[in-house]
Structure 1
Amino acid sequence: MITLKGAAVSAKIREEVTEALHEFPGAAPKLAIVRVGERPDDMAYERGALKKMENFGLQAESFSFPGDISDEAFQAEFKKINDNPDIDGILLLRPLPEQINERDIEHMISSEKDLDGISPENIARVFAGENEGFAPCTAEAVIEVLKANDISLSGKRVAVIGRSMVVGRPLSMLLLKENATVTICHTRTRELEKTCKDAEILIAAAGKAKMIDSSYVGADAVVIDVGINVDQDGNLCGDVDFESLNSIASMATPVPGGVGAVTTAVLAKHLVTAAKKRRGSRK
């Protein structure tokens, strides 16, 4: 089985970003990372994104707020960030605490700065199969991994485990755009193992540690693991029992070091695209 590591894909995207930066004679594009509370996974992602932006020659600033901030206060602070002309793109770490109306923030964020595809405008563009706007970074990272490894999607049977608006549904739309035949699976899918085993490409975005083992995987299938979990020993792991795939899958992504490594690179690419559009429109 070939291990599909994300580092090489990230490096390729970095080259694209570096080339694009030649078009910015002034300040480099700037990202705002907005975090509410101190969830360990949010803070880990924030650190990784800040480091990635620096490595790619981009600016990034973190805006953190206490977990008990009121809905009214957070909306006021978010509006300041959203309206700041020096900020080219925004990454909002979710889910937000229950006292904050997340839907209101999704409607508030500028679609031009919405790098992770949460605004109604960007979601609509993804589902309409348009090229404009931004898809969620993780969903797009999966496509980047497949393309970088010359894995054709046209006509392929693809099963996606997970139907969230963060990964499963938008990813399915991106796969359809590449002419794949997509089956979206979830907790109520009958004969889930059989459905997955029939797929030539299996994408796990269920959010359950090591849920997918060899019984879900057909011979020579490609397995993409989007999950980020912590196992019973406290180690980072995906939705896939990676070791169990050795004798059956043809290729698979590891966790860590797979799709996650590409997600922040896609974020950087989105930031450059957003800056180009915004700064070009201001000329």
Structure 2
Amino acid sequence: MGAEIIDGKKIAGGLGEANAARSEALRGAGIEPTLAVLTPGDDPNAGAYARSLVKAGTKRGLVVRTVELPAGVDPAGFERLLKEAETGAHGVLVLRPLPAGLDPDAVDFLVDPDRDVDGVHPVNAGLLALGRPRFVPATARAVHHILKSTGVELVGKRAVIIGRSNIVGKPLFQLLLAEHLTVTVCHSRTRDLPGVAREAEVLAVAIGRAEMVTPEYVKPGAVVLDAGYNWNDGLGREQGDVHPDAAEVAGWFTPVPGGVGPVTTQMLVANVLIAAERGKTR
């Protein structure tokens, strides 16, 4: 019979309208919500994402400024660029991959936690773990929102997350735990990964390996949420981490493209609006 295909673009449209209304209210109060995006200049995927943020953010009333990070930037140079970007901005986003000379952990500490709309600063990660979230990473927040939109009863269900990154797997674990699911986080060293995944009534995937999760990983009727993005030059299109054939087994399924991606963008816009509503600017 096949899965119910979740229309992420439709969900994102509703979120975008709500974001636009919040942005208009801020502007009416004399506040111009502003996002600064620092992007590695030599990475085409990061550049494409930055351009999409400019387009989506501007449409919803944000001012979006981009700052290109030189390939050879050192820590002192990065810190200078970051502080300049933070000036007058409510939200700051540092896109990955970082230039080779920068330590990702150090970068996470340097971003002002009150402007950390990616939710990666230890203060914001800690608040989420304590059940008092301020800024939740946009992709994790998008997956959570999409799951809630299905109307599936979540309390007591078994969830499996494949991937343990700081911006998807770990924060999503906290969000699902707060919904009273029993959550397992899997990774590259998980034994019998397909077998563990098949136990899930909710399966979320964010591992960065194109179409790795095949139908054998999916419990019949499960909600399958694909947060992967992999560009295939040969095919000239993006691919998710879940093979499309898995939709024949699942009960609910997010496609790539058109699933988690558009919702993620609107969640990032919403995080900027949260920061602006808090009135944090210099």
TM bracket (short chain):
over 0.9
Identity %: 35
Name the SS for the 2:279 alignment partner: helix
CA distance in 1, matches of 2:50, 2:177: 31
Instruction: After superposition, give the CA deviation of every residue in 1:167-217 in whole Å (9 maximum; x if it has no partner).
Output: 111111111011111011111111211111111011111111110111000
Deviation at 1:123, TM superposition (A): 0.8
Q: Is the 8 A contact 1:146 1:152 kept in 2?
A: no
CA distance in 2, matches of 1:134, 1:208: 27
Gaps of at least 5 residues in structure 1 are none
Deviation at 1:27, TM superposition (A): 4.2
Q: Is the 8 A contact 2:70 2:99 kept in 1?
A: no
Aligned: 1:40 with 2:44: yes
Name the SS for the 2:100 alignment partner: coil
Residue 203 (structure 1) aligns with:
204
Residue 27 (structure 2) aligns with:
24
Q: Partner letter of residue 241 of structure 1? A: H
Name the SS for the 1:87 alignment partner: coil
Segments of 4+ moved more than 4 angstroms: none
Aligned residues: 277
Residue 108 (structure 2) aligns with:
106
Name the SS for the 2:68 alignment partner: strand
Q: Is the 8 A contact 2:72 2:100 kept in 1?
A: no
CA distance in 2, matches of 1:81, 1:126: 25
**RMSD over equivalenced CA pairs, Å:** 1.6
Give the 3 Å change call, closer, same or farther, for CA 47–151 of structure 1 in structure 2: farther
Name the SS for the 1:278 alignment partner: coil
Gaps of at least 5 residues in structure 2 are none
Q: Is the 8 A contact 1:112 1:278 kept in 2?
A: no
TM-score (norm 1): 0.93
Residue 275 (structure 2) aligns with:
274
Work out which of the residue numbers 74, 77, 99 in structure 1 matches 2:78: 74
Residue 53 (structure 2) aligns with:
49
Name the SS for the 2:160 alignment partner: strand
Residue 67 (structure 2) aligns with:
63
Residue 121 (structure 2) aligns with:
119
Residue 91 (structure 1) aligns with:
93
Name the SS for the 1:256 alignment partner: coil
Name the SS for the 1:35 alignment partner: strand
Q: Is the 8 A contact 2:40 2:97 kept in 1?
A: no
Deviation at 1:65, TM superposition (A): 2.3
TM-score (norm 2): 0.93
Deviation at 1:240, TM superposition (A): 0.6
Instruction: After superposition, give the CA deviation of every residue in 1:222-274 in whole Å (9 maximum; x if it has no partner).
Output: 100011013453421000111x1243111100111110111110011111110
Alignment of 1:122-137 (within 5 A): 122-131=124-133, 133-137=134-138
Instruction: After superposition, give the CA deviation of every residue in 1:69-99 in whole Å (9 maximum; x if it has no partner).
Output: 22211111112222x1x21111110231221
CA distance in 2, matches of 1:271, 1:10: 16
Identify which range, 66-75 or 153-162, moves more after superposition.
Answer: 66-75
Give the 3 Å change call, closer, same or farther, for CA 17–246 of structure 1 in structure 2: closer
CA distance in 2, matches of 1:248, 1:102: 38
Q: Is the 8 A contact 1:222 1:252 kept in 2?
A: yes
